[in-house]
Structure 1
Amino acid sequence: MRAFVVEDDPDQRDLVCHELERAGWSVEVAEDGIAALGTIRRVIPDVIVLDLRMPNLDGVQVLKLLRSTDVGRRIRVIVTTGGEVDEAVRALATAVLIKPFKIADLLRAVEPPTT
């Protein structure tokens, strides 16, 4: 299982990565949207944990660009934010977590759906 964490806050990024790795995920990271898109093209993750507010290219723009591609539509995207989330973002995201969120909620959100 491969996760990709896109978060500009180093403390938040380290915490999320640590908890995902403890749960058995292989984790890639990016500090902003531009770096994220470059990595996603190389390594297609099972899930992306995506902060909305970042420099250079924000999470909303990354999410819209992802969802405009065939590959990007298949990737589960967990949006994290400290603020409000509009309905358009909610419609594009697999799940939304409001910071500060509980690690248990994150781990539940990243799990693949059962069939």
Structure 2
Amino acid sequence: MKTVHRRQKAGKIGRCTYMLRGVPSGPNDPDEQQSPVAFVIEDDAASRDLVCACLESMGFQTEALQPSLKAIEKGVASAVARDVVVIDVMLGPACDGFDVVRMLADRRFAGRVVVMSGYRTDYLNLVHSMADAFRLRIAGALEKPVTISTLQQLLADPSV
């Protein structure tokens, strides 16, 4: 059993406990400034919690952001180059992965970007291509359901 502490701010989701078999534990200290932050933008609670748990087991602090451009913009305002944004392509009526990629490019986000989707692969490829065209640091694209091994492969090289 692992208790995960997430930084809590307005528009963000809080603390959860997970049991992850065979997954190495990452740091639990919410004040650990050396850990990179993974901003997870996902409208489905189960998928969001799974992605956060995988990233936390890899040593990331996570901030689950509400799928609205205002909340996302506010959330990633403090991001640095070692941080990661994980974006679901289909987020709902407020915004989608295309909007988030455009906003990250406008803000000159220096961290890595991972796009994911449970929908058609062409949506995933299109958002990936768009992020690449905006010269964002694309770590990769994932089809759902996301697994810890696929996240580890994408995020193994922090220079990407």
Distance 1:80 1:86, change over 3 A: closer
Distance 1:87 1:101, change over 3 A: closer
Question: Counterparts of 1:97 and 1:4 in 2: how far apart (Å)?
Answer: 16
Greater RCO (Cα-Cα under 8 Å, separation 6 or more): 1
Counterpart of 1:78 in structure 2 is 114
Please state whether the residue corresponding to 1:109 is helix, strand or coil. helix
Query: Which amino acid letter does the alignment assign opposite residue 156 of structure 2?
Result: E
Deviations 1:65-87 (A, max 9, x none): 211233x1x22110011123265
Q: Is the 8 A contact 1:33 1:59 kept in 2?
A: no
Give unpaired runs (5+ residues) of structure 1.
none
Give the 4+ runs in structure 1 shifted more than 6 A: none
Counterpart of 1:67 in structure 2 is 105
Deviations 1:19-65 (A, max 9, x none): 11111111111130322222112x21511111111121111111112
Query: Which amino acid letter does the alignment assign opposite residue 104 of structure 1?
Result: S
Q: Give the TM-score of the pair, scaled to structure 1.
A: 0.83
Q: Does 1:96 align with 2:137?
A: no
Q: How many residues align?
A: 112
Question: Counterparts of 2:61 and 2:124 in 1: how far apart (Å)?
Answer: 30
Q: Percent identity?
A: 31
**Structure of higher CA gyration radius:** 2
Give 1:14 shift. 0.6
Please state whether the residue corresponding to 2:74 is helix, strand or coil. helix
Query: Which amino acid letter does the alignment assign opposite residue 52 of structure 1?
Result: V
Query: Which amino acid letter does the alignment assign opposite residue 105 of structure 2?
Result: R
RMSD value, Cα: 2.0
Structure with a larger share of its residues in helix: 1
Question: Counterparts of 1:86 and 1:18 in 2: how far apart (Å)?
Answer: 22
Distance 1:61 1:13, change over 3 A: same
